[in-house]
Structure 1
C-alpha cells in the first residue's frame, strides 16, 4: 500500500573510512564548511523537499551525528536507520524502514556529495518507466583484462561503464529483490535487482559524482565546492 508517486532516498554511510585516514570516518569529514554527509543530504532535499530521506549509519554513530547536526544547525528532515554488517545489510535495513510498497527509492552512497540534480531527476523518471535507473559514466582510459598467469588482453572500453549511485528502483521490485538474502556475487544494488532476472537500465551519471575514498579526493572535493560558488 502507499502512493505510487512517492519518492524515497536511502543514503548509505556505514563505512569506517580507513583508506581516508583522519580521526573520523570519511562521511563526517569537513569539505567546505559542512561534513560530507550533509552535502549529500542537501542534494536530495534540494531536488524534492517533500521526499522521505533515510540515513543509514552505524548505530554507535547516532549520537555523534545528532551532535554534528546541532553544531552545524543542520535541519534537513531525515530518519536514522541502523546499519548492517555489510552494505547489503545496511540497504536492507533502509528498505525495511520504508513502510510503503509503492513509489520509487534512490539508493545512494553517502560519500558521493556531488551528484547532480539532473541525474537525481532522471533516475526517478526512468525508474518509474523501466523499473530501474542506475547512473553510470563512460571510461576515459584504455583498459586491459589481466589473467592469472600475468598475461593481459585489450578490451574495448566503449563496451564498459563505471557504475555510480544513485541506483533508483520501483520500491516493490527492489524490496522483493533484497528479500532473497545476501549473495557473494552482489556488488551493488543493481546486481541484487538483476538477480531476479530483471534488466538493469543505465542512465548517464555526472563525472563529478566521485566516491570520496582517499585524502586526495577531499582536495578535489574542495576544488569542486569552490568552483560551484
Structure 2
C-alpha cells in the first residue's frame, strides 16, 4: 500500500525567541526538520514525503532535503494561511490511494516504531491518532472558578495523525472551521470515528528553548542505546 507523509513545517520562532523558525534550529548538529525527515525515510523504503513549507523558506528546505539519505523521495509544496490550508495543499500532491501520515515537523523525536504502529492501526481501523495520558493534575475553568478533571479520561494528542488518503482528502474538501485544530477534528466532522493509539512521551513538540535541550539529551541517549 502506498505510504505518504505530509510533514507540515510552518512554525515561526516567536515562542523560541529566535528569528529562525524552530523547524530550522539545530539539534545535535542537524536542523529539527532534518531529524523528522530522516525518521520517515527510515520507517519504510516506499515512504514518499511531501514537505509543506512557507514560500519564503522553500530554499532552506531544499538545502536540508539535499542532506538527507534519500532526497528523491521528498517533494516540497507551499503552505497556506492556516494549518488546515497547509495540509490541504500537501494532500493535493497525492495522486494515488494509500495511507497518509500528517506530522508536525517540529516533533523530531518520533520513532519508526510509532510510525509502524500508526500504519498498522490505520490498515485495521481506518485511522490512528497517537495520544498519551497526562501525568499532571488537570483543572478546567468554570463560572465559579475551576474544578478537577479526571485525568484518566483525558489524552494529549500527538502526530503523526494517520488516515486512508480517500477519507482524509474528502474531509479536507469541507470549508475551513476554526474548530479544526488538527486532522482528527476535520475527519471527525464527517462522522468518522477516531481511533487512538499509544503515543510516546518523548514525542515532544519543539516550542521553547528548553525543548531543544531535552531533544538533544533524548537523541544522545538513543544513540547510546
Quick check: TM above 0.5?
yes
Matches within 5 A, 1:40-189: 40-70=36-66, 73-76=67-70, 77-100=73-96, 102-149=97-144, 151-189=145-183
Query: Aligned equivalents of 2:194 and 2:13: distance in 1?
Result: 29
Secondary structure of residue in 2 paired with 1:226: helix
**What are the superposed Cα offsets for residues 164-212 of structure 1, whole Å, 9 maximum, x if unpaired?**
0010001100100110121111110000000000100000001000000
Taking only aligned residues, the RMSD between alpha carbons, in angstroms, comes to 1.2
- The correspondence for 1:212, drawn from 189, 206, 214, is 206
Structure 2 unaligned spans of 5+ = none
TM-score (norm 1): 0.93
Measure how far apart 1:148 and its partner are. 4.3
Structure 1 unaligned spans of 5+ = none
Secondary structure of residue in 2 paired with 1:173: helix
Secondary structure of residue in 2 paired with 1:224: helix
Query: Aligned equivalents of 2:171 and 2:61: distance in 1?
Result: 30
- The correspondence for 2:21, drawn from 16, 20, 25, is 25
Could you say if the C-alpha distance between residues 68 and 133 of structure 1 is closer, same or farther in structure 2, counting changes exceeding 3 Å?
closer
Query: Aligned equivalents of 1:148 and 1:110: distance in 2?
Result: 37
TM-score (norm 2): 0.95
Measure how far apart 1:67 and its partner are. 3.2
Say whether residues 1:228 and 2:222 are aligned partners.
yes
Paired residue total: 221
Measure how far apart 1:74 and its partner are. 2.8
Query: Aligned equivalents of 1:6 and 1:64: distance in 2?
Result: 28
Query: Aligned equivalents of 1:167 and 1:67: distance in 2?
Result: 27
Measure how far apart 1:68 and its partner are. 3.9
Secondary structure of residue in 2 paired with 1:119: helix
